[in-house]
Amino acid sequence: MNSELSSLKVQDLGEQNLLQRLQRFCPVEIIGDDAAVLVTEPGQSLVVTTDILVDGVHFSHITTSPEDAGWRAAAANLSDLAAMGATPVGITVGLGLPGEVSVSWVERLYQGMTECLQRYHTSIVGGDVVRSPVTTLAITAFGQVVPNKIIRRSAAVVGDAIVVTGVHGAAHAGLQLLLHPELRQNLNDAEKTALIKAHQRPQPRLDVLPLLWKILSSQSSILVAGMDSSDGLADAVLQICRASGVGAVLEHRQIPLPKAFNHWLTQEQALKYALYGGEDFELVLCLPKEPADTFVQQLGQGAAIIGNITAGSKVLLHDQQQKSPDQVLSLSQGFQHFSQ
Amino acid sequence: MNSELSSLKVQDLGEQNLLQRLQRFCPVEIIGDDAAVLVTEPGQSLVVTTDILVDGVHFSHITTSPEDAGWRAAAANLSDLAAMGATPVGITVGLGLPGEVSVSWVERLYQGMTECLQRYHTSIVGGDVVRSPVTTLAITAFGQVVPNKIIRRSAAVVGDAIVVTGVHGAAHAGLQLLLHPELRQNLNDAEKTALIKAHQRPQPRLDVLPLLWKILSSQSSILVAGMDSSDGLADAVLQICRASGVGAVLEHRQIPLPKAFNHWLTQEQALKYALYGGEDFELVLCLPKEPADTFVQQLGQGAAIIGNITAGSKVLLHDQQQKSPDQVLSLSQGFQHFSQ
């Protein structure tokens, strides 16, 4: 990057000029009207999700490069689409910026978003840039889904297996390694890199949907319940149970963890990271045992059945190696953004 | 409102509880998943627009009640849909809030948004609420439009009449009356009320679209060019001309102004309010002279043909009562959010 670009500030350019510079991150055909026109396939429903991210609350200059902040913001929204069973159609980006932010920071943010979107064959289709005392990123993502394949939180039924598509706790571990470098000493380079990457470049699990539908193709009446684990695994199971009016039993030893946790964290810490750490962007899905087994086998790489849906409303954590009573999980144990 | 509610702050409730309280402003069927599912009609294209609004930049506690801030935010996005020829399908609302904001302020904001949306038969279909040092409102609106009826900025052709759907300058005048009460002395009550209402409760011109399509129904090959005048009438004409590679001549005396301007502002002030004031949310449309005449006659209420599309690239303001040369309009005379 040349020094002229890196010293140029948003206030030097003005809103119109900055918007023009950012248009190179968008497909040419959608630029220049009051709104973007998107094409969805006939017979599919439109799925919409929105996130607002604030500097100092949801991302930090200390632990996050602008590229990573952009990637993570895009990934979070694509993960919400995956959680509904939907394929991405595009995103819009609203950006609030203090005048003293450098133009290169903004372009690197867009670069990170675009890298993530391209990986999942989608793009930025519109946006807005305004002045704000705090850097704020508002993303709305659009997807399409065949109506009888919509994954809803409310569709879990007693007897369903609870599937996770990968390990939990890695993203939170990566964040802790960035915030507290002294924690790195008991990890080898590969372990450190993998955990930090899990935080910086989370992968929305859009890739698992075709496999899921293939396995269920002969049983079209099965409704899959689910959501993503962006607010933690415990939160995901609790939300699904609340929406479905059911309970669940989770098997402590079945929750897939990063291998490094074995020698790096106590069992209690590891469980806390997995249940409440958040931002792993895996899917938590509820479906009958037989297709769930096939799904988990074919996914490999940390996918697992971690428990079952039960009657009642309690979500219990059971540990078959211990004689202690089951632990009851509740939403208040998780993160509450305002009240912490 | 009871005093308990009015003193309750966002930080007392927490994010989850606030979201639950706000769900009463949304249709029941769309609540509780990672994303909202919307139904669009077969054969229609999806139109998407996004806006981000920041306290102290785009709205102010001094001049704007929370209900009016909500109405204006919703109206601005619906106006962008109208500008594309689209019918609303729904909006998502992302909200960044300092913990000390009162819950009643937030609920009144949603009340204002909902009032505007209901008037145009649409609703809030999803959202996000997060902590932020500054109150920030990110709205994304969705609409649907028959593909050959999309109104684009780039479709103006030489000879088109330039139509405005109503008076210009009223919203800016209303804002000035709120900021500087001493300006009110030369206006009667009805005039004051109308101008202030134009600022507080602007009307997106979705209502003109059925009339426009009816008039053009026998001439389906006509493409209408246009946008809304939210950033000022001059900006709208300049943007259309730039996107279409054409010029324009505007007739000074044809620009419809609020009647009160005659005795309240100088000619020069009135013109400045109309061209650069912004936020009138009228549509500026370019179409052949004959249907344009019919359209304006049937609209009544301030609708007018204000000029013509010409060859070249200049946008000229002509005054038939004066001997002075035509004025050349340019985008830099308008508002630039960052550089002012």
Q: Residue A304 — φ and ψ, nearest 5°?
A: -160, 155
Q: Quick one: how far is CA B216 from the chain centroid?
A: 24
Please tell me the distance from the alpha carbon of residue A49 to that of residue B93, in angstroms, as a whole number: 10
Inform me whether the C-beta atom of residue A231 falls under 8 Å from chain B C-beta atoms: no
Q: Which residues of A are annotated as a binding site for substrate?
A: 58, 279, 335
Q: Do A35 and B51 touch (CB under 8 A)?
A: no
Is the dihedral angle over the CA atoms A211, A216, A221, A224 positive or is it negative?
negative
Q: Do A339 and B11 touch (CB under 8 A)?
A: yes
A-chain residues within 8 Å CB-CB of B37?
45-47, 84, 145, 150
Tell me what ipTM this predicted complex has.
0.83
Inform me whether the C-beta atom of residue A33 falls under 8 Å from chain B C-beta atoms: yes
3-state secondary structure of A3: helix
Confidence at residue A1, expressed as pLDDT on a 0 to 100 scale: 44
Confidence at residue A128, expressed as pLDDT on a 0 to 100 scale: 87
Confidence at residue B180, expressed as pLDDT on a 0 to 100 scale: 92
Q: Do A96 and B243 touch (CB under 8 A)?
A: no
Q: Quick one: how far is CA A316 from the chain centroid?
A: 24
Distance from CA of A338 to the nearest CA of B (A): 5
Distance from CA of B140 to the nearest CA of A (A): 7
Mean pLDDT to the nearest integer, A80-108: 93
Please tell me the distance from the alpha carbon of residue A19 to that of residue B320, in angstroms, as a whole number: 37
Confidence at residue B29, expressed as pLDDT on a 0 to 100 scale: 57
A28 confidence band (pLDDT: 50, 70, 90): low
Domains A3-148 and A151-331 are alike in CATH topology: no
Interface test with A, best of B20, B51, B132 (most A CBs within 10 A): B132
Confidence at residue B31, expressed as pLDDT on a 0 to 100 scale: 59
B-chain residues within 8 Å CB-CB of A130?
52-54, 57-58, 337
Average pLDDT of chain A is 90
Query: Which of A59-63, B127-131, B294-298 is least confident?
Result: A59-63
Q: What is the pLDDT of residues B234-288, one digit of tens each?
A: 999 999 999 999 999 999 999 999 999 999 999 999 999 999 999 999 999 999 9
B169 and B258 in contact (C-beta within 8 Å)?
A: yes
Is the pLDDT confidence value at A337 over 80?
A: no
**Superfamily designation of domain A3-148:** PurM-like, N-terminal domain (3.30.1330.10)
Q: Residue B86: CB partners within 8 Å, gap ≥ 6?
A: A35, B47, B143, B144, B145, B150
Is the pLDDT confidence value at B65 over 90?
A: yes
Both tokens assigned to B209: 């679209």
Q: Do B84 and A11 touch (CB under 8 A)?
A: no
Q: What is the pLDDT of residues B227-237, one digit of tens each?
A: 999 999 999 99
Inform me whether the C-beta atom of residue B332 falls under 8 Å from chain A C-beta atoms: no
Mean pLDDT to the nearest integer, B48-59: 90
∠ CA B339-B251-B324, rounded to 5°? 80
DSSP state of A149: G
Q: Quick one: how far is CA B11 from the chain centroid?
A: 33
B91 confidence band (pLDDT: 50, 70, 90): very high
Supply the CATH classification number for the domain A151-331. 3.90.650.10
Q: Which residue in A140, A143, A116 sits closest to A128, CA to CA?
A: A140
A221 confidence band (pLDDT: 50, 70, 90): confident
Q: Do A46 and B50 touch (CB under 8 A)?
A: no
Inform me whether the C-beta atom of residue A28 falls under 8 Å from chain B C-beta atoms: no
Interface test with B, best of A132, A144, A206, A284 (most B CBs within 10 A): A132
**Nearest CB to A84 within list B35, B80, B130:** B35
Please tell me the distance from the alpha carbon of residue A328 to that of residue A322, in angstroms, as a whole number: 15
Q: Quick one: how far is CA A181 from the chain centroid?
A: 25
Is the pLDDT confidence value at B82 over 50?
A: yes
A339 confidence band (pLDDT: 50, 70, 90): very low
B-chain residues within 8 Å CB-CB of A338?
10-11, 13-15, 18, 99, 131
Distance from CA of B79 to the nearest CA of A (A): 9
- Closest-CA residue of chain B to A243: B32
**Nearest CB to A132 within list B14, B134, B140:** B134
Q: Residue B149 — φ and ψ, nearest 5°?
A: -115, 15
Count of pairs with CB atoms under 8 A, one residue in A, one in B: 237
DSSP state of B141: E
Give me the percent of chain B exceeding a pLDDT of 70. Answer: 93
Beta strands in chain B (DSSP E): 36-38, 45-54, 87-97, 124-131, 136-145, 161-164, 225-228, 247-251, 283-287, 304-310, 315-318, 327-328
Is the pLDDT confidence value at A304 over 60?
A: yes
End-to-end CA distance of chain B: 40
B339 confidence band (pLDDT: 50, 70, 90): very low
B30 confidence band (pLDDT: 50, 70, 90): low
Confidence at residue A276, expressed as pLDDT on a 0 to 100 scale: 94
A-chain residues within 8 Å CB-CB of B283?
none
Both tokens assigned to B153: 């900025």
B88 and B206 in contact (C-beta within 8 Å)?
A: yes
Max mean pLDDT range (A31-40, B143-152, B299-308): B299-308
A-chain residues within 8 Å CB-CB of B47?
35-38
DSSP B4-32: HHHH-BHHHH-HHHHHHHHGGGS-GGG-S
A-chain residues within 8 Å CB-CB of B132?
52, 54, 57, 134, 136
DSSP A164-219: ESS-SSHHHHHHHHHH-GGGGGGS-HHHHHHHHHHHHS---GGGHHHHHHHHTTT-
Mean pLDDT to the nearest integer, A247-254: 96
Q: Check residues A179 and B42 and name the one with the higher pLDDT.
A: A179
A220 and A148 in contact (C-beta within 8 Å)?
A: yes
A16 confidence band (pLDDT: 50, 70, 90): confident
Is the pLDDT confidence value at B38 over 90?
A: no
Is the pLDDT confidence value at A92 over 80?
A: yes
* Residue B279 assigned ligand-binding role: yes
**Nearest CB to A57 within list B32, B130, B227:** B130
Is the dihedral angle over the CA atoms B58, B64, B69, B72 positive or is it negative?
negative
Mean pLDDT to the nearest integer, B315-326: 85
Please tell me the distance from the alpha carbon of residue B129 to that of residue B221, in angstroms, as a whole number: 45
Please name the residue that has the structure tokens 């679209």. B209
3-state secondary structure of A229: coil
Inform me whether the C-beta atom of residue B318 falls under 8 Å from chain A C-beta atoms: no
Is the pLDDT confidence value at A229 over 90?
A: yes
Inform me whether the C-beta atom of residue A83 falls under 8 Å from chain B C-beta atoms: yes
Please tell me the distance from the alpha carbon of residue B234 to that of residue B251, in angstroms, as a whole number: 12
Inform me whether the C-beta atom of residue B224 falls under 8 Å from chain A C-beta atoms: no
Confidence at residue A4, expressed as pLDDT on a 0 to 100 scale: 53
Inform me whether the C-beta atom of residue B47 falls under 8 Å from chain A C-beta atoms: yes
A107 and A70 in contact (C-beta within 8 Å)?
A: no
Domain ranges of chain B: 3-148, 151-333
Is the pLDDT confidence value at A35 over 90?
A: no
Q: Residue A336: CB partners within 8 Å, gap ≥ 6?
A: B14, B15, B16
CA R_g for chain B: 21
Q: Do B34 and A145 touch (CB under 8 A)?
A: no
Q: Residue B173 — φ and ψ, nearest 5°?
A: -60, -45
Q: What is the pLDDT of residues B199-226, one digit of tens each?
A: 999 999 999 999 999 999 988 789 999 9
Query: Which of A35-49, A105-119, A285-299, B134-148 is least confident?
Result: A35-49
∠ CA B198-B75-B241, rounded to 5°? 85
Confidence at residue A313, expressed as pLDDT on a 0 to 100 scale: 93
∠ CA A123-A125-A128, rounded to 5°? 125
Q: Which amino acid is at A85?
A: G
Q: Check residues A22 and B178 and name the one with the higher pLDDT.
A: B178
Q: Residue B143: CB partners within 8 Å, gap ≥ 6?
A: A35, B46, B47, B48, B49, B81, B84, B86, B87, B88, B89
Average pLDDT of chain B is 90
Q: Which amino acid is at A57?
A: V
Q: What is the pLDDT of residues B163-198, one digit of tens each?
A: 999 999 999 999 999 999 999 988 999 999 999 999
Please name the residue that has the structure tokens 């695994």. A233
Confidence at residue A338, expressed as pLDDT on a 0 to 100 scale: 34
Q: Residue A3: CB partners within 8 Å, gap ≥ 6?
A: none
Q: Do A93 and B13 touch (CB under 8 A)?
A: no
Confidence at residue A44, expressed as pLDDT on a 0 to 100 scale: 87
Confidence at residue B63, expressed as pLDDT on a 0 to 100 scale: 75
Q: What is the pLDDT of residues A314-328, one digit of tens each?
A: 999 998 887 778 899
**Nearest CB to A95 within list B52, B152, B243:** B52
Both tokens assigned to A3: 């020094």
Say which CATH class B151-333 falls into.
Answer: alpha beta
Confidence at residue A123, expressed as pLDDT on a 0 to 100 scale: 92
Residues 161-190 (B) with a CB less than 8 A from some CB of A: none
